[in-house]
Amino acid sequence: MNEIFKKDYYAFYGESWRIRGGVKRLVSNRDIRYIYAGRMSTSAKTIFVRMFFRFIRHSMAVKRCAEISFQNVGAGLHLSHGTAIIITAKAKIGENCSLRNGITIGVELRGKRKGAPTIGDGVWIGPNATIVGKISVGNDVLIGANSYVNFDVPDHSIVIGNPGKIIYKENATEGYIVHKITECIH
């Protein structure tokens, strides 16, 4: 079993992966199944297995209108209602991040912010949020629903609105990211 996926599984359920119960959840939960296919498509030991899981991930992505490049996404990823999620392969996302439906993390093609975002650890991104450009989003950041972020965000912050407004708050994601992989025991 993929070690990063075990941490993703912990982020969902707050318990370590076990064959008994784990397989049932993998079959019944489409978000965790998509993450598993994505992780296996980038880390399986043989090219045949990687290609098989790329096919599975692609077919799931088409049904869900979602495209996530798992190569630059840290462990402990949590999707909730993970449909209509678009993340450029150039973006970097840290550990213990939670993504909601309808988000876009994209590239800016011109100007001073030309490039893709770097998102820190412990970030919660709400439904329909958009994050674009070569910006840095710090650790322990909550990005509210429908927010537009094209500017750097410091650690321990909440971003709300369009245009986004930053509010400093210690432990900004407390209660939003509940199963952190630092607590994970295998």
pLDDT of residue 1: 59
Indicate the pTM of the whole model: 0.90
Distance CA(67)–CA(28), nearest Å, equals 20
CA neighbor of 100 nearest in space, from 80, 119, 86, 120: 80
pLDDT of residue 186: 52
Tokens of 180: 């952190």
Q: Which residues touch 125 (CB under 8 Å, ≥6 apart)? A: 97, 98, 99, 100, 103, 105, 119, 131, 143
pLDDT of residue 27: 87
Which whole-number Å values give the CA distances from 51 to 60, 70, 171, in the listed order? 14, 14, 40
pLDDT of residue 159: 97
pLDDT of residue 182: 77
Q: Which segments in the chain show pLDDT lower than 70?
A: 1, 183-186
* Other residues' Cβ atoms within 10 Å of the Cβ of residue 30: 16
